Every structure is written in structure tokens, then in C-alpha cells.
Structure 1
């Protein structure tokens, strides 16, 4: 079975290559990948749930906005994402519930500080084998 995502080398940044059987799984796996770049998502335990609704102009814009919203939970609210449940996803909107845990330095080791989710080389596409996305994170 193929991993749901890979972290790829990119000069001065971190790249993600994310996979999913469908769009919902792709966006869920992208959330896990983002958390794993920040910390080990397996060490994040759901303490509360947040309802999220994010819009975009198309699939790539939606992916960037989705990951920016999740990054804001970390950088703006000190919340780490344990998991997400995608309730609805279309080319211009995603509705999900994020299970989060407040950051605690004694529990969570931070791997990378992400400055931004970028549009640089963004790609979200459907193929015969499922969905794929390439995303570059500014660190």
C-alpha cells in the first residue's frame, strides 16, 4: 500500500506530495502531512473539535487555503491537529471537523516552524489512480 504522502526535498523549503483515493482523503492526508512537518501527528491527542469551512477558487487555491487555515490553528492559536474528518469537499469549498490538542512543550517536540503555505508549484489533480497534490511550505 502506498503511503498517503511523501515529504520531498526543495531548496530552503519543504515540499509535500500527497495522495488520496478521492478528494476528501487527499485533503485529510494533506492535514496529516502538515502536522507531521510540524511535529509527530501520532503524538497529538484530540482534546477538542473545531468546525472548519474553507473556500477557494479552484482545487489548488482550496488546498492552499485549507492548509493555511490549519497552519493558523498552530501559529495563531497554539493548537496541533490530531485528525480531520472531511464532511464535504468540492472544487471551491471544504467543510470539516478538526480534532485538536493545545500545544504543550513537555508533550510535543517541534520539528519545523512553517512560515507559510505557498502557491509555488502548487498542483492538485485527479488521475486514473486517485488524487495527488504537490505543495511547497516556506520554512
Structure 2
């Protein structure tokens, strides 16, 4: 099973992420976002940022997850390539770590700036084999 794929969208970027668990799907969604920004295979998991979030449903939790990661990119130029998280669906909380390093133009390819997460086409589905997350980011 692939971790994520891009799909065509008129002005923005569509991402479809997959995972055997909800946590793996959220991790792959984040990886897809950072793959828009740079080649994540060149991002070393040197530093981490701890993240604690509450949401009112899974879609809101995903939105906040991606926005929080983009906040670290915008404020600290952090790019991430590894994610370790736990989601509690009863309390609708997410806690975890995002691993990466500060963007360095000599090492990391500068691709497209992701401005924000959106609710456009946002869905989280559980199939027989996996979770599928579909969403669009503003570029």
C-alpha cells in the first residue's frame, strides 16, 4: 500500500493519504504535505516538536494537525519527515512528535510553499483494509 498520492485540483494541491491505522494515515497525510514543500527523503529526523491537540471530530483534528505542522514551518522553517502519534477517538485528542530539521537550501529542494490546510474535499474514510484521508492544501 502506498503512503500517499497527489490528485489534480484547479489551483491548489489535493492529497490522498493511506494507513492501516488512523495514526498511520495522519502521519502519511503530514508526509504528503511536506513532500509538496521539499523532498522529504532528504529531511533527517534530527529535532522534534511535541504536539498536543483537541478536536471536535476527526476532520477537525486532522485540520489542526496539519495547521500545527505548517505553523512550525512558517515560524521556524522546520520541515518534517517522521511522525509518531496517538489518537484517542473518545476524547478526540492527538498527541505526538514530529521529527525533522530546519530547512536548509543547500540540502533541501525548495518546491511549493503550502499556505494553509483547508476543509475543501476533506474526508476520512475507513475501508476494509485501511483508512483513506482526502484533503486539499492551499498553495
TM-score normalised by the shorter chain: which range applies? Answer: over 0.9
CA contact (8 A) 2:124 2:132 kept: yes
- Aligned residue in 2 for 1:114: 114
CA distance in 2, matches of 1:132, 1:18: 6
Displacement of 1:60: 0.7
- Aligned residue in 1 for 2:54: 55
Displacement of 1:94: 1.0
Which contiguous aligned blocks of 4+ residues in structure 1 show a shift greater than 4 angstroms?
none
Q: How many residues are paired up?
A: 137
What TM-score do you get using the length of structure 2 for normalisation?
0.94
CA distance in 2, matches of 1:38, 1:61: 22
Which one of 87, 90, 107 corresponds to residue 89 of structure 1? 87
Structure 2 unaligned regions, length at least 5: none
CA distance in 2, matches of 1:82, 1:116: 18
Query: Is the counterpart of residue 17 in structure 1 residue 28 in structure 2?
Result: no
Map 1:1-139 onto structure 2 (within 5 A). Answer: 2-86=1-85, 88-91=86-89, 92-139=92-139
Give 3-state SS (helix, strand or coil) of 2:17's partner: strand
Give 3-state SS (helix, strand or coil) of 2:8's partner: strand
Give 3-state SS (helix, strand or coil) of 1:111's partner: coil
What TM-score do you get using the length of structure 1 for normalisation?
0.94
CA distance in 2, matches of 1:90, 1:133: 17
- Give the alignment's Cα RMSD to 1 decimal: 1.0
CA distance in 1, matches of 2:129, 2:10: 29
